[in-house]
Amino acid sequence: MVDMISRFKTLLATLALVVLAAIPAAHADDLKPLVDGLGKSGYAALRQAVGALAATGDPAVAPILQSLSTGDLYVRKSDRAVFAATKAEDGFKLTDPATGTDAGTATSGEIDKIKVNNAVREAVTTALGSLTLMSPDIAKRRLAAADMFRNGDPAQISLLDQAIAKESDAGIAATLQLARAAAVLKSDQPDADKIAAIHVLQTKGGRDVLGQLTAIEASSADGAVKTAAADALTSIRGTLKLWDGAQNILYGVSLGSVLLLAAIGLAITFGVMGVINMAHGEMVMLGAYTTFVVQELIRNNAPWLFDWSLAIALPLAFLVAGLVGVLIERMVIRYLYGRPLETLLATWGVSLILQQAIRTWFGPNNREVGNPSWMSGAFELGNLTITYNRMWIVVFSLVVFAALMLVLKRTSFGLQTRAVTQNRPMASSMGIRTPWVDALTFGLGSGIAGIAGVALSQIDNVSPNLGQGYIIDSFMVVVFGGVGNLWGTLVGAFTLGIANKFLEPYAGAVLGKILVLVFIILFIQKRPRGLFALKGRAVEA
């Protein structure tokens, strides 16, 4: 008897093995006509084919759809068969997308790329969402859940229920609940369920929910569901309004940090030394181009260093811009101290020369400066989207400011600089070599503009015109904050940034900027020396 049972068990196990082994093969054969369906012309047909593939529920479909959306699938003209193709020496190497087996080669004339548009891409993400919902990979599940929430397909409710039951990660389970609620709202389930779903969505809040609920509110007939949706909308809108205020402050701080970075070098050359330096923007540009050159070298020689490219570019940009600054001071500006008008014209000429030199050297086109991985993308904080590059620039600008303060207040060079700018003859008689201090101070201001360029290369064009966009703003900040006072520059930059961002949503970008300028002009009328005026005899000198 025992023997019989064990034999029976063996038999069962063997059977199961046979069946299991047969499944993938059978699937691959079943998939073949469906995969070839992708080769039909027309986006509508392509979307249908994607849907048909997804309906099989076979996990093998996911990589096929993936390669469809990345544009790696091709159709052979002779028999309309679909292949995954990779570029080989002479033409393309074909593989069967379902089984991954080799399918020979083809020249580029024999096959056509299957073109996808946004609608097809969307169909693919929906399909992938349902296919990877049970994936063992947590990251894939998270993506899939988010996709399901965005699409809210009523046909998937039962699948979602299964997934919710199985899900171990709390975050993903919450997203799945939302996806289920979104799907329920679009289905024909009873009103009570729908209202429950609305409450689920309302607790989540945020823009995505707002979009889905607005659609529901607009499409559903009068009744309990519509009222519930309308109530939920009012409450979500109220919360979002508060977040909008926070968002404006955040954007203002971000704009302020950019202004601070651009202006901080000028606060030295113009603010401390009194040189109206129109070539300041070009120092920023030199810094940005230094970053480009560094990145280009890294791309070609040591790609693994890419995430460090900015760290490497920083000291180099400081040196390059600082050196150019010292040169300008030695060759032009030192002959023009005390003659602001001539300085203005001469440095403007220098700025044109630098621009055209860069244009001649690097060409007039934008140069690509990549974002290292830690500066790409964004994260959500409540209903705020904070982009990493902006966040790091805020941090960076404050670090630069602190470092500069430290140099000016705590080093002997800083002491000499302050002495020279406050009372030149006295400093000179104390044995300070004032011409050298002038040159180095100008170099310091320019070098800081250079490192600002490294940061700005992350958010703006790297083109010969980069600097021009910042020169007016920089002067605005320095004059507003108070000439000769670094704290003024800090406060000025953030005030103007935040004011600008609060005006922009109401007045628009163009009028907003005009209003800020008008405000500054009026302010300067009232307080000619800016926010933080220097006091004492030094001012009169």
Partner 1 sequence: MTSFNQSSPPAPVVVIHIRQSTYMLHGTIHRTVPLTNEPGIAFQIARSRLAIVASQPLRPAETPWKGVEQGELRPMSYISRTFGAIATAAMIGAGATSAIAAEETIKVGVLHSLSGTMAISETTLKDTVLFLIDEQNKKGGVLGKKLEAVVVDPASNWPLFAEKARELISQNGVSVVFGCWTSVSRKSVLPVFKELNSILFYPVQYEGEESERNVFYTGAAPNQQAIPAVDYLMSEDGGSVKRWVLEGTDYVYPRTTNKILEAYLLSKGVAAEDIMVNYTPFGFSDWQTEVSAIKKFGSAGKKTAVVSTVNGDANVPFYKELGNQGVKATDIPVVAFSVGEEELAGIDTKPLVGHLAAWNYFQSIDTPENAEFIKKWRAFIGNDKRTTNDPMEATVIGFNAWVKAVEKAGTIAPDSVIDALIGVSVPNLTGGFSTIMPNHHITKPVYIGEIQDDGQLDVVWQTPGLVVGDEWSDYLPDSKDLISDWRAPMSCGNFNVATGKCGGKGS
Q: Which residues contribute to the site for partner 1 (CB under 8 A)? A: 43-44, 70-71, 115, 117-119, 121-122, 125, 150, 207-208, 210-218, 247-248, 251, 254-255, 258, 355-356, 359-361, 363-368, 370-371, 376-378, 385, 387-390, 459-465, 468-469, 501, 504-505, 508-510, 513
For the bound state, the minimum distance from the C-beta of residue 83 to partner 1, rounded and expressed in Å, comes to 19
At a CB cut-off of 8 Å and minimum separation 6, what does 129 contact? Answer: 143, 144, 145, 147, 148, 151
- Long-range contact list for 461-464, CB < 8 A, 24+ apart? 461/366, 462/288, 462/289, 462/291, 462/292, 462/366, 462/367, 462/368, 462/369, 463/364, 463/365, 463/366, 463/367, 464/285, 464/355, 464/356, 464/358, 464/359, 464/362, 464/364
For the bound state, the minimum distance from the C-beta of residue 501 to partner 1, rounded and expressed in Å, comes to 6
Beta carbons of 480 and 518 less than 8 angstroms apart? no
- Lookup: tokens for 85: 């193709």
DSSP 305-317: GGGGHHHHHHHHH
Q: Which is nearer to partner 1, 182 or 321 (CB)?
A: 182
For the bound state, the minimum distance from the C-beta of residue 34 to partner 1, rounded and expressed in Å, comes to 22
Q: Which is nearer to partner 1, 217 or 438 (CB)?
A: 217
Q: Which is nearer to partner 1, 2 or 218 (CB)?
A: 218
Beta carbons of 285 and 466 less than 8 angstroms apart? yes
Q: Which is nearer to partner 1, 76 or 367 (CB)?
A: 367
Beta carbons of 148 and 156 less than 8 angstroms apart? yes
CB atoms within 10 A of CB 393: 22
For the bound state, the minimum distance from the C-beta of residue 534 to partner 1, rounded and expressed in Å, comes to 30
For the bound state, the minimum distance from the C-beta of residue 31 to partner 1, rounded and expressed in Å, comes to 25
Which residue is listed with tokens 């993903």?
Answer: 172
At a CB cut-off of 8 Å and minimum separation 6, what does 188 contact? Answer: 154
For the bound state, the minimum distance from the C-beta of residue 219 to partner 1, rounded and expressed in Å, comes to 8
For the bound state, the minimum distance from the C-beta of residue 285 to partner 1, rounded and expressed in Å, comes to 13
For the bound state, the minimum distance from the C-beta of residue 465 to partner 1, rounded and expressed in Å, comes to 5
Q: Which is nearer to partner 1, 497 or 530 (CB)?
A: 497
Distances, alpha carbon 188 to alpha carbons 6, 63, 185, in Å: 51, 33, 8
Q: How many helices (H) and strands (E) does the chain have?
A: 20, 7
Q: Which is nearer to partner 1, 330 or 513 (CB)?
A: 513
Q: Which is nearer to partner 1, 66 or 434 (CB)?
A: 66
For the bound state, the minimum distance from the C-beta of residue 139 to partner 1, rounded and expressed in Å, comes to 16
Q: Which is nearer to partner 1, 1 or 510 (CB)?
A: 510
Spatial distance between the Cα atoms of 268 and 265, rounded to a whole number of angstroms: 5
Beta carbons of 114 and 82 less than 8 angstroms apart? yes
Q: Which is nearer to partner 1, 167 or 217 (CB)?
A: 217
DSSP 391-422: HHHHHHHHHHHHHHHHHHHHSHHHHHHHHHHH
For the bound state, the minimum distance from the C-beta of residue 352 to partner 1, rounded and expressed in Å, comes to 9
CB atoms within 10 A of CB 105: 15
Q: Supply the Cα-derived Rg of the chain in whole angstroms.
A: 32
Q: Which is nearer to partner 1, 194 or 390 (CB)?
A: 390
